[in-house]
Amino acid sequence: MNNKIIVANWKMNGNKALIDAYGNFFKNYQGDYTIVVCPSFIHIPLCYSQNYFLGAQDCHEGPMGAHTGCISASMLRELGVKYVILGHSERRLQCFESDEMIKRKVNAALENDLIPIVCIGETIAHKEAGQTFQILKQQLKNSLSENDKTIIAYEPIWAIGTGNIPTDCEIITIFQFIKNLFPNNTIVYGGSVNEKNAHQIIHLRGVDGLLVGGACLNLVFFEGFL
């Protein structure tokens, strides 16, 4: 078994049919990768395979209380969830999540024995202005706690759901940059990963795994990749 990780982020997608398709596909999986499946909150207790770990797509920063519609880290833990994606660019943008709020969520996750997967990434405007490294450094500094357990997901915003991906050289350079700042953390790549490019990306120097969005909604991805 290698120690690379594949995180499937269902976002606001999926249904019972997808849960069953995953259950059937992973029934006999004894492959090389650690698989983490992140369905919507309500689908979490319906997932049943022993051959993948469960992840959530967010959690609240607080332990309990008057926060209508929110889910705490301890609730996730109680249901057998092991990982939680935090600070995804869609949440940063659509739910106005700041680096500081994400850091508080990271701490809540760690306190409850969840492994945070913290997303960072630059916009196309940052990239074109030559600000990628500055933005990444700022996001890393402000949204992560110093903790080796946390997984860092580098997801260039311009690559998410667009079919555009950075060059191999860009990925290697950026991973080296992150590794220099956080030498002991697992770092994964996300943004338009599919069954055609997954092999190539996961074997680039410094890449410890993948965070897959759209492509993981079809088992063709795993059939082609695993």
Q: Which residues are catalytic?
A: 88, 155
Residues near 94 by beta carbon (within 8 Å), at least 6 away in sequence: none
* CB distance 122 to 136 below 8 Å: yes
DSSP annotation string for 12-25: T---HHHHHHHHHH
Type of residue found at 22: Y
155 binds ligand PGA (CB under 6 A): yes
CA 13 – CA 153 distance, rounded (Å): 20
Q: Which of 161, 176, 184, 204 binds ligand PGA (CB under 6 A)?
A: 161
Residues 168-207 that bind ligand PGA (CB under 6 A): 190-193
CA 122 – CA 24 distance, rounded (Å): 37
User: Which residue pairs, CB below 8 angstroms and at least 24 apart, start in 180-188?
Assistant: 181/137, 181/140, 182/140, 182/144, 182/152, 184/148, 185/148, 185/150, 185/151, 185/152, 186/5, 186/151, 186/152, 187/151, 187/152, 187/153, 187/154, 188/5, 188/7, 188/117, 188/151, 188/152, 188/153, 188/154
Residue among 66 and 89 whose Cβ is closer to ligand PGA:
89
Residue among 74 and 195 whose Cβ is closer to ligand PGA:
195
212 binds ligand PGA (CB under 6 A): yes
Compute the least distance from the CB of residue 93 to ligand PGA, in Å: 11
Compute the least distance from the CB of residue 117 to ligand PGA, in Å: 10
* CB distance 39 to 7 below 8 Å: no
Give the binding range for ligand PGA (CB under 6 A) out of 15-23, 25-33, 103-111, 209-217. 209-217
Compute the least distance from the CB of residue 11 to ligand PGA, in Å: 7
Compute the least distance from the CB of residue 67 to ligand PGA, in Å: 25
Q: Which of 214, 218, 219, 226 binds ligand PGA (CB under 6 A)?
A: 214
Give the binding range for ligand PGA (CB under 6 A) out of 43-51, 56-64, 129-137, 211-219. 211-219
Q: Which of 56, 136, 144, 160 binds ligand PGA (CB under 6 A)?
A: 160
Q: Build a one-symbol-per-residue string for 95-124: x at contacts with ligand PGA by CB under 6 A, - elsewhere.
A: ------------------------------
86 binds ligand PGA (CB under 6 A): no
- Give the footprint of ligand PGA on this chain (CB under 6 A): 9, 155, 160-161, 190-193, 211-215
